[in-house]
Structure 1
Amino acid sequence: MAQRNEKITGNGSASLIQDSDEIEEMYCEECDRHTGEYATAVAFCVDCVEYKCKTCKVYHRRHFKAHKIQDSDSMPQDFYLEKCSDHSEQLIKFYCSECSKEACSECKDNEHVQCGDVNHLPALASGIQKSDELKNLQQMLDKLSADIKDTEKLLDAKSEVVDKQEEKAIEACKVHTNKLIEAYTQQHQDLIDDFDEKMEETIARLKKERLELVQVLSKKERMFKNKITNAETDVKDQIVSTNTEFKELRSEHLTLVENLKALTIDLEQAQKLGKNCELFIKLKFTKQLCEKLHRNIEQIQQAYIQRYKLKTSGIQPTLESGTRFFMFEKVSAVKRRVVFNFDINSHIDLISSLLVLSEHTLLILDWKKCSLVIYILEMSQANCIDDIKFETSPFDITKVSDYIVAVTFPNERMIKLITFSGNMKVLYITKIPGNGTCTGIAYRNPYIVVSYWDPASVKILSMSGTIVKTFDKDDNGQNLVIKPWGLIVSPDNTMIYVSDLDKQTVTCLTHDGKVKAVYKDDHLNLPYQLAVDEYGSVYVCGAVSDNIHILSSDLTKVKILIDTNDGLDKPESVAYCPITKRLFVVMQNKIKVFKVLEE
């Protein structure tokens, strides 16, 4: 390739300069290809998409009179001088928007011949510095940076819980170990003292027996100490290994910080150089990496903390003790209590569902007015910033990513993916076939889980609407659900929970459709919407029983968390924010917000 790298000095002579100060001048591609010689390009053939020198321009006009030739004043000036990796003699001149890939002339004529959106790269790159795509990417980078900082706060809070729990359990091990050894040693001493009482009668004989007995007991004591020490070590290992996966998130978070920093520096450097074609390619590449970083952030933010407790045997050891000294048990539910935080006066006639999109953003579905209402949360208040209208009533909503949500529309038998900008303006709406009267919805990467009324069932769909699995019967061949309403997925993506208004139940399914548990309680009437927290605890909204039940991940009742004593009156929906530890409960024209605390 011929490329001029010159800089004019004060006396008019040319000198070599660094790459960052290069003066790029396009050369004649025909001369380069056929003779390998450098010649300055003075024209551009629009039909051939090639730069020509003065001589080649004359011959080209003579042999291709119908071709359109642009002179040096009107020809494209934004050059991208990278060669194709597959065709080393060809410049990269095109970009295929369908394949999201750059291409040379040979690639365009061969690999992209069936593509309908292959364009000249300088034309695409024109105006990229002021494009919305570049601005949105920069906003995405700013949001990722903020998310990483929020994630660090969340990790700090969770780490404190993990460390305290671990410290407490290990200390309990040590205390119990000392008690067992002390009791066991005392038994030995009692036997020795008893033996001493009989020594006077047969002192000569018993001295020998005593010595032998002491030796035997000492050996057994050493064996017992080894046994209890090994048991203590085993349970400590269980405690530490239970927290290992969560502790590894710290290093993952540091990696995210470094990756985001590198992406930001690369993009800023491409902007400073002013090379639009290079910036265009860098922008496309950075967007793909940003999406991957975002998925990693979501995994860290949704990290599941395994709760556990340590039980001791509670019995005195014996000489031939074979009991288990420690019992390590995983806890499926954490006890909770709530304190009232504040009220949101929504002035919405009928809220069908709500979603905490982030710690500062609350989305509410208005069934009666066919709209999605956006609230911004600030301290102890909420302000409405937008009201998005639809043609039919929306039923349920789930978070796909920080700026994408999925909403069911039963009357249209449709699911809609709504993509927002950084300031929560709708960028575009994508329709997905609902495959029936779709009601409840929950996102489980990379699928969505949907409940249906007619016929009643639960289905797993791809993001394009293709049915992956259908669950409509239980293990006994009976209807799995009759009138499903609320639908959520566990934080570790292993379980599906669905409420049923007809059966008055909440059912827990595996992602193969196996029924793991069913919750039914006399104090739960019309279980509407559901929510789940970071520990896997399930919150059930009883619309007629005027209460919120909290259940373990296996649907064991923990307690009635909120009822009429807390001001509940016909609650219809519930949502939880893991960052702020807030529970949002919908009533008529009002949303009550509670702070969730551990007991």
Structure 2
Amino acid sequence: MATNFSASQTQGNDEVKEMYCEECEKHEDSYAPADGFCEDCVEYKCADCCRYHRRHFKNHTVKDKDNMPQDFYFEKCSAHPKELIKFFCSECEKSACQECKDKDHQNCNNVTHLPTLVKDIKPSTGTELKDLKENLDKLSNDVKNTEKEMGDKCVIIDSLEGRAKSTVKQHNDQLIENYEQQQKEIIDNFDKKMEETIAKLKKERKNLVEELAEKKSMFKAKISDAEQNIVKTVENLNAEFKTLKKKQLTLVDDLKKLSADLEQAQVLGQNCKLFLTMKLTKRNHEQLSQNMQELQNNYIRCYKVEPNIDLKPSIQSLESRTTFFSYKEIHESAIEKTATFHSDINSESNSFLSLNENTLLAADNCSRSLVIFKITKINIQSYDTVNFEMLSGPWAITKVADNKVAVTFPCERMIRLITFSESMSVVNADDITVRKGYYGIAYSNNNLIVSTMGPVTVQVLDMSGRIVRTIDKDSMGKPLFTQPWYLAISPDHTTIYVSDSSRNTVPSMTFDGKVKAIYKDGQLNGPCQLTVDESGTVYVCGSGSNNVHQLSSDLNKVKILLNESHGMNYPVSVAYCQNNNRLYVGMSPGKIKVFNIRVK
């Protein structure tokens, strides 16, 4: 609603305000003087808007300029700043704009247009205004009369305040004096008790020191007994193996003596002695063979000794315990290993294996070739390359025999068997054409164990490529793998290990597909190639976590063997050489790191 007016109209207290057309202000943002008022719409309108309104709303009552409400109220609504206050609710005793009326007073029955409401009010003769003025005059007289009474009362109050302060100060001084005297008495009594207590505590301390010294002596004796028991246990185990070692040395000496006696009898040409020596050698050979078999069937007993008490136990806990160490036999594969850097090899390989102590084979997918590395005591260097005339390169490689390997070509849907001579030249190459693209590959008991991505399975093939068994689901019928890129076989050929890159897991299973264990660790991300040493220890490289994990044969975490501090940078391949105890770890791209492995 427009409320604009000129400066000349608003000067002084006798301001003259003119109502403007509400329609023009709302819709055209212009200000036209009001020329009429619609009682039904409760809106002021200019001459044009009045004509339009009468034409389209014939049933509305529109009053002209002379008869329209003239007592204008120009205050804006605090809740709706663009709206003028136009109404008064007699029930709520509140003023309202149009929006307040529609929202807050829709259920009120007595909401009236403000100018219309006050139209007949005569301020000069109104009873309400007269009463209000009389009440204000009476209140003003009461205020004047009260002023003298308040002054008299202030004199009384000031007098009372002075007396109260004097009384309080005098009494407080007496209280403080009394308080300080009692404090002195308390301190004197405490000093007396302290002297008595100190004498008593000195005596108690002397007794306590003597008691603790006796307990300490008993505790040391108990700890010493526990230590001797553990040491005796492990020494006995070592003695058993050392006895076997002596048997082995004796066996070597006996074998040398038998060979020498037989050789001497033959050289001398004494047939009788040769005959009897042969018979004796035959009997002794049988016994030596039996002893040798006994040595081969005896394995060292691995164990772990650990404290079975907290690092900071209470003295009560220490005194009550009878054991302090736990002895636990473990599998040889669970013994912690350490890795020391040996050398670097430049190679673009995604998979490799140690064929023997002198040769390392690396499958290079990018160059579509097989790289042969010669291993010496001084260094490791590439000295030959087997190129594959194919559209795609090799993926994984496994040892079939001392001079024979199998290589997968997933894009070619082929497995190639390559036989080498002693000088590592290719003697023969046989291709096995398969129906699926195989990635990971391992060899066991004249079978090839392979993995495929479409569908995702691990399969056992005979050497002609025929599928013997398919492993893809667990006992609940759920898929076992999502990305089984690489495989490995346990030394006893009873367990298949799989690295599942997508799930960040390493599951193990029997050859009939029964899951034995699943390794999952927050520090293993993107597992790729894995390998197993002669003790059953599993090594798996995490390409995303930049490390190599050492696992026991039953897939318990032993330790993180290698990490970024060892130069691990996206490791994708790993191989173990039993003959020289070395671990080869391939990075992507371009480098193989070689580490010497030993028991920690």
Q: What TM-score, normalized by structure 2, do the two folds share?
A: 0.48
Q: Larger relative contact order (C-alpha < 8 A, sep ≥ 6)?
A: 1
